[in-house]
Amino acid sequence: MGKSKTKKAISLLIVLVLVLGMVALVGCSKPAATTAPEQKEEKEFILIGRVNPTTGPLAGFGAGTPTVEEMAIEKINADGGIYIKEYDKKIPLKLIAVDSESNPTKASEAATKLVLQDKVDLLITAHTPDTTVPVSAVAERYQIPTISVDSPVDVWLTGGPYTWVFHTGFVVESLNSVFMDMWDLVDTNKKVGFLFGSDPDGAYISEVIKPMAEKRGYTCIDPGRFPQGTKDYTTIINQLKNEGVDIVTGNMITPDFATAWQQMHQQGFVPKVMTMGKAPLFPTDVDSFGNDLGEGVTTEVWWSENHPYKSSLTGHGALELAKWWTDTTQKQPSAVLGYKHAAIEIAVDALNRAQTLDKDQLREAIKATDLDTIIGHIQYNDENYCEAMLVGGQWTKGETWPWEMNIISNKQAPEVPLSQDSMFFVPGSK
């Protein structure tokens, strides 16, 4: 009995030592972590935190980070970095990328870590509302100047008003207009079936598109929203089939759309036009549909190697960036490259003008952005966003790459050249 109590006492002491050790260990990180800029201690890097969906269903968006950003930063660092007046010297940039695992909760936790532990001077967030909205919430809470790109403006705005975050993306009305501009190019019965998921962008876009489509003479058939990960679309397919729709549109993550599109083909329902947001944006995603099912699928295009814009950092055009990407990675370029590069352009431009890491001044510098970038001109409005223009594209089997994108509609951005091939119906449609 006495022996066991001695053991207990020893165990207690062990636990005490463990706990104290753990607390002391984490406590030790304090001096480094709380070094404030105004103390003017040596600062090795200007830290840019980047939350990216590296894994999970949004990994297609995340591909290219941190390679693209680091290439852009390399150019600045080769000249010694950016002059910061409180340190009276040039300081190089350093990117710290973390994975959100395509999960909004993780995106929030990861951004909190970047702000509180890594003490980043600036945050960059991108790629769908699942990443941009939670990271923007963290930025507003901790008052960190933040550059957000690549997600629908309207959905991002639902979390506003924003003071610290500045966003560049398309507005949902533009997205829907691009879709309809493409539908207008071909002869259909003007019946549109909806295939919108219940994620933030799917929920929002589906609300906006219906009145817009009806105004342009289209009839909408809406079977309702469905959650991510749905495996059986039979009920929806039957409804759209029975209604005899010629056009199907929606906004889905890639694995879900692949499942739905395969089931449509299996069940003998192939619409003349399949216009899908988000899922078929990248060639790797199109390839994942299998059995050449990507042929004829249309979607929005935010950026391509044919966009006639130039980088403010390198002076190179979209084609050069795309070529650099292919030479570096042996991979096909995709629309995210331009946005990843542009986010660094905006950050560098603001830092160059602010010449300080003072959060308020840096925020004001971002707000005053008036810059030609590789994705076009960036200037924020009173609601802290800059609207990006879209063009419409159609996937087809290619010669250089398995899948290539034809630009078939450019009403919003006539400066983007159209491809030689015109829009065609999805193979197998009747």
Partner 1 sequence: MIQLLASKPFKILNIKIIVLILIISIFLTLPLWSSEYIISVFVLIFLYMSLGQMWNLLAGYTGLVSLGQQIFIGLGGYSLAVITVLYQLPIALGIIVGGVISILFALIISQPIFKMRGDYFTIGTWIVAECLAVFFSVWTYVRGGLGFNIIAAYKLSTTDIYYMAVAMGLGSIALVYFLLRTKIGLALMAMRDNESAAETLGVELYKTKLKVFLIAAFVTGLTGGLLYLSIAYIQPRASFSITWTVAMVFIVIIGGIGTIEGPILGAFFFILIKQYLYNYPGISMIILGTVAILTILIAPKGIVGTLQERYGFEILSIRRR
Instruction: Please identify which residue in 67, 228, 259, 419 interacts with partner 1, judged by CB under 8 A.
Output: 228
Q: Does 54 bind partner 1 (CB under 8 A)?
A: yes
Binding residues among 174-203 for partner 1 as defined by CB under 8 A: 197-200, 202-203
The whole-angstrom separation of Cα 93 and Cα 81 is 6
**Nearer to partner 1 among residue 26 and residue 379 (C-beta):** 26
The contact mask relative to partner 1 for 65-104 (x = CB under 8 A, - = no) is: --------------------------------xxx-x-xx
Q: Segment contacting partner 1 (CB under 8 A): 79-87, 137-145, 177-185, 366-374? A: 137-145
Q: Does 241 bind partner 1 (CB under 8 A)?
A: no
The contact mask relative to partner 1 for 100-129 (x = CB under 8 A, - = no) is: -x-xxx--xxx-xx--xx------------
- Total binding residues toward partner 1, as defined by CB under 8 A: 64
**Nearer to partner 1 among residue 108 and residue 412 (C-beta):** 108
Q: Segment contacting partner 1 (CB under 8 A): 11-19, 213-221, 308-316, 386-394? A: 11-19
> CB-hemisphere CA count at 13 Å for 265?
16
Can you give the chain as a three-state secondary structure string? Answer: CHHHHHHHHHHHHHHHHHHHHHHHHHHCCHHHHCCCHHHCCCCCCEEEEEEECCCCCCHHHHCCCCHHHHHHHHHHHHCCCEEECCCCEEECEEEEEEECCCCHHHHHHHHHHHHHCCCCCEEEEECCHHHHHHHHHHHHHHCCCEEEECCCHHHHHCCCCCCCEEEEECCHHHHHHHHHHHHCCCCCCCEEEEEEECCHHHHHHHHHHHHHHHHCCCEEECCCCECCCCCCCHHHHHHHHHHCCCEEEEECCHHHHHHHHHHHHHCCCCCCEEEEECCCCCHHHHHCCCCCCCCCCEEEECCCCCCCCECCCCCCEHHHHHHHHHHHHCCCCCCHHHHHHHHHHHHHHHHHHHCCCCHHHHHHHHHCCEEEECCEEEECCCCCEEECCCEEEEEEECCCCCEEEEEEECCCCCCCCCCCCCCCCCCCCC
Q: Closest separation between CB of residue 420 and partner 1, Å? A: 39
**Nearer to partner 1 among residue 133 and residue 182 (C-beta):** 133
The whole-angstrom separation of Cα 321 and Cα 310 is 9
Q: Closest separation between CB of residue 308 and partner 1, Å? A: 34
Q: Segment contacting partner 1 (CB under 8 A): 10-18, 120-128, 183-191, 281-289? A: 10-18
Q: Does 7 bind partner 1 (CB under 8 A)?
A: yes
Q: Does 34 bind partner 1 (CB under 8 A)?
A: yes
Contact criterion met (CB below 8 Å) for 364 and 171: no
Q: Does 211 bind partner 1 (CB under 8 A)?
A: no
Q: Does 39 bind partner 1 (CB under 8 A)?
A: no
Q: Segment contacting partner 1 (CB under 8 A): 72-80, 135-143, 172-180, 261-269? A: 135-143
Q: Closest separation between CB of residue 63 and partner 1, Å? A: 11
Instruction: Please identify which residue in 80, 224, 268, 308 interacts with partner 1, judged by CB under 8 A.
Output: 224
The contact mask relative to partner 1 for 303-332 (x = CB under 8 A, - = no) is: ------------------------------
Q: Does 398 bind partner 1 (CB under 8 A)?
A: no
Residue 275 CA from chain centroid, whole number: 19
Residues that bind partner 1 (CB under 8 A): 2, 4-5, 7-16, 19-20, 22-23, 26-27, 29-30, 33-34, 52, 54-55, 97-99, 101, 103-105, 108-110, 112-113, 116-117, 130, 133-134, 136-138, 140-141, 155, 158-160, 197-200, 202-204, 224-228
